Amino acid sequence: MAEEYFDIYDEHLNPLGTATRSETHAKGYWHRTFHCWLTRKEADRRYVRFQLRQSGKDTYPNCYDITVAGHLSAGETMRDAARELKEEIGVSASFDELIPLGQLREDCSGAAGGVAFIDREVSDVFGLVCSLPLMELQLQAEEVAGVYEADLEELLQLFEDELSELTAAGVAVDQGGGQIASAKLVRAEQFVPREAGYYASVMRALRDCT
């Protein structure tokens, strides 16, 4: 399979051209990404969904993360990136249904599978109200190991160190590539490390999504 190309930028987001995914992460080029958090309301409770990244991911394998996230391929706009919802979890939604929640700039490094990476991203963050049952999601098994759901207020307590762990219900990819119901005990340190306060600020913003 041909490797994906990204538009790359300097630290001021001046275009530098394009580079492959591996080169972008090896050399630490700035690039653009899409974040979308799914939420739903039931009675007086608000729930938020988050994904478990597959073990083969080139950055932060086996970590919990944003419900749907993805890089913009070369030539794509943020509007085009809404395709990630359909590709990763089978949710059909137009860009106009997304609720803007802000922008995030991240500069981090690490290693995955013995390969070092430098990940420099500018991400546009969105919310989406979605009541589709968890078992009706269609997970992209190569990318997503599972999608889980927890009470927003409990997640906020988790990210503010007021709760050590919580139980989340979800759907996971089984060994045969099918999907099964799943439940996990979740801790804050199991999420992809991000800018201090990112997760808590997103939870607060999602409270008002209608």
Q: Which residue has the tokens 């137009």?
A: 94
Least Cα distance to 172 among 46, 54, 40, 68 occurs for 54
Q: Are 154 and 166 in contact (CB under 8 A)?
A: yes
Domain assignments of the chain as residue spans, ordered by start: 5-206
CA distances from 49 to 12, 112, 150, 196 (A): 32, 25, 7, 20
Dihedrals φ, ψ of 110, to 5°?
A: 180, -155
Residue type, position 28, single letter: G
CA distances from 186 to 163, 174, 175 (A): 10, 19, 21
* 184 pLDDT above the threshold of 90: yes
Residues 6 or more apart whose Cβ sits within 8 Å of residue 138? 89, 90
Q: Which residue has the higher pLDDT, 43 or 209?
A: 43
| Residue 173 token pair | 């990819």
In this predicted model, what pLDDT tens digit does every residue of 56-87 receive, in sequence order?
A: 887 789 999 999 999 999 999 999 999 999 99
* 173 pLDDT above the threshold of 70: yes
CATH number for region 5-206: 3.90.79.10
pLDDT of 114 reads: 84
From the CB of residue 137, how many other CB atoms can be counted at a distance below 10 Å?
Answer: 22
In this predicted model, what pLDDT tens digit does every residue of 32-52 receive, in sequence order?
A: 999 999 999 999 999 999 999
Mean pLDDT of all residues in 149-166 = 97
Least Cα distance to 143 among 74, 58, 201, 202 occurs for 58
* 7 pLDDT above the threshold of 80: yes
CA distances from 42 to 31, 39, 140, 162 (A): 37, 10, 27, 24
* 116 pLDDT above the threshold of 80: yes
Task: Label residue 171 exposed, middle or buried (CB < 10 Å: 0-12, 13-18, 19+).
Answer: buried
CA distance 162 to 22: 38
Mean pLDDT of all residues in 2-15 = 93
